[in-house]
Structure 1
Amino acid sequence: MSKRLKDRVAIVTGAGGGLGRVHALELARHGARVVVNDLSGSTQQVADEIRGTGGEAIACPGDVTRYEDMEAMAARAIGELGRIDILVNNAGILRDRTFAKMPLEDFRLVLDVHVMGAVNATKAVWARMQSQNHGRIVMTTSASGLYGNFGQSNYSAAKMALVGLMQTLALEGAKYDIRVNCLAPSAVTAMTDGLLPPEAAAVMTPDRVSPGLIALVGDDAPTRMILLAGGGSFECAHITMTRGIHIADQEDPAEALCSRMAEVQAQADQVIPISGWDQPKHELEKALAGVT
């Protein structure tokens, strides 16, 4: 086994079981010293499991929705392990129902755990990563956020929010060599029980996702990547912008747009914007040129 993460210190939230536990074990197998975070007492079991294989780990129970807990976790990681190189924002919950039947409390709770949980943990490590000019942060997104999923409006909204957070933090962290990416896993865990067909259990295992995590946290990691992983397969998702049309000179722009919507959607010559400013720049260029 390679030791590409030797001496690196990694924090994994929601690591008491499921995908988070496997992430923690895989990071340790590649040489990282791991801070195992979760709400439950199972953090100690996972830390002991890592130590049993010759790795180094500390159990750090805490609630990602409480910034004080995340700050205390980061301070403990620095105090006991000396630095923080990697943060894996993995903690999450499901509260699936159709939007019409979903209590607003369930919508807020899912956003709080997934989005604010990632914000709290990231805020706790950000300045520390800046000061050492090195950091690797992974947000756990989902195909449900990227493409939608019936009955998961709260989860989908949260997971897409993490993509936007990743995009901006990758830009802000670039000069400090803080690389920020998203991982969209497909795996059978307690959280996804009943959502995938029975035959998925044999192949859609968490251990077939975690190699993707390793690729996102090493010294040669990319940044601003949305990596999809499941069953040993890996793909990349992009937020793209089509070439589109320019219709400001039309007598009725709204009518012209409605009649030419297929051209707006056409994917030929689409681009991947570097930042949010690329949209107005693209539109200004077409407007000045009078491109139709």
Structure 2
Amino acid sequence: MEGWVKLFRMLLNWEWYKVPYMVHLFIHLILKANHEPRKWQGIAIERGQLLTGRKVLSYETGISEQTIRTCLSRLKSTNEITIKSTSQYSIITICNYESYQEKKDEANHQINQHSNQRLTNDQPTINQPVTTNKNEKNNKNEKNSLFRQRFFSVLEIFYFKNFKNPIAVTNAFFNHYEGIGWKNARGLDIENVESVAENWSNKTTEGTNCPVPLLLKWKVMYDILKNNTDHYTQFLLLRPTKLENGNLFIRGEEKDIQSIEADKALLAVWKNALFMTFGKVNVQYEFEKTIAA
């Protein structure tokens, strides 16, 4: 993304200003919001809106999903944003978006009024057309951003293809296609990310994610979660390693495991899915520093 947004000094008096995560997330939302209406897979996303989800926001900001949820609730309660959610995504609307992002013609008018400001080729006036290359770059960046919002749906595909490190493979997949402008082998625009991922072969990591029989059982459990909770993708950050003597060993980063354990409603759904799939088992966690690339 390119361009700019306005930040007023009155933000210093904002009630959430001393809460770092709130400021971080709110500015991130402003920067990610559409500056003009667009459609993505038939979904209309208006100016001042962004199509996203808690997991995507967590990935983009480095803030835990639980904290994202709390911050969004607070921003909604003070009328900074509105949220329209489905089981697959959320459309967040920045209230008073025009206060943060002026329209292009308004911005150019303000630039022209400053007689002592030297205009360069990088600052086109109203009568100076923007180069095609810059427009193409903006479109490419916006397409990258929209497709990145499908990160977890692609991760799910690679997870159950049993790559040893599905997160690394997912990142390699996005980096590859972002680099070539989301074109297929025939040079045509890619529209369906998941269909391309289904046919993706990658040697970023070798070996398998977990034993095949165990992965098949985990898939059964995952599908149960998929039908019963909006947070099912959280389990793509964990991986079962072995089932032995009634003990199911699960590996993942400590913060991801703690996030599941802290969500009592989610934990109850997971325990039920575990029992339906594996019967009575004792879960043993194996912490690791990172499973990402």
TM-score computed with the length of structure 1 as normaliser: 0.24
Structure number with larger C-alpha Rg: 2
TM-score computed with the length of structure 2 as normaliser: 0.24
